[in-house]
Amino acid sequence: MSKQFICSVLVLTVSATLAPKLANAQASNSSDQPRTSWGTPDLQGIWDFRSITPLQRPEALVNQEFLTEEEAANLEQATVDREESLLNRPARRTKAGGNVDRGEDGALGAYNDFWLDRGTTTTTSRRTSLIVDPPTGRMPALTAAAIRRNEARRNYRQQHPADSWEDRGLNDRCMFTTGLPIVPSAYNNNVHLA
């Protein structure tokens, strides 16, 4: 699946998630809501989007749109317990030849867990996925046209791997959290709006 397709789906997902909230915020005339000098909602500040809610709904929860309070609490506690266990385990030497992305016991390989900040809570709505549409909470299959575009892009990149910085993906340039869609990642899960 191409990065552009995933980005497109994520933009639509984030837009669909935020649109009702922004519409309600603009419709509200309550005095407790911060406003700019021209009357629109004031979104300035540091926004944190860490979450253990996955982008796609897990197969096991395909028919469950929301977690119960108990399920969310159990998931959050399991995450805290896992993070604590990884933090407190003894240091281990890296072995050559293995997968650098995956360590022992599900730990990370390239970074140790100290440097990551994925969050320990679900979204406040307790959704089982960040994707809200389609209702399955899963990314839809690629269309035939998208498959052809991906193949053409793949062929181009094989012939032109890095003619310029523009041929490099956002991850290669460490810019994967600098714009939309805003989805949780390993770190840098915040934006500052001034």
Per-residue pLDDT of 128-156, as tens digits, reads 999 999 999 999 999 999 999 999 989 98
Contact between residue 108 and residue 98 where contact means Cβ atoms under 8 Å apart = no
Per-residue pLDDT of 45-64, as tens digits, reads 988 889 999 999 999 998 99
The arithmetic mean of pLDDT across residues 107-126, rounded, is 79
Averaged pLDDT score across all residues of the chain:
79
- Residues 56, 62: Cα–Cα separation, whole Å: 10
> What pLDDT score does 160 carry?
82
Whole-structure pTM over 0.85, yes or no? no
> What pLDDT score does 115 carry?
76
Handedness of CA 113, 118, 124, 126 (dihedral sign): negative
For residue 107, what pLDDT band results from cuts at 50, 70 and 90? Answer: low
| CA distances to 29, 45, 105 from 101, in Å | 49, 34, 12
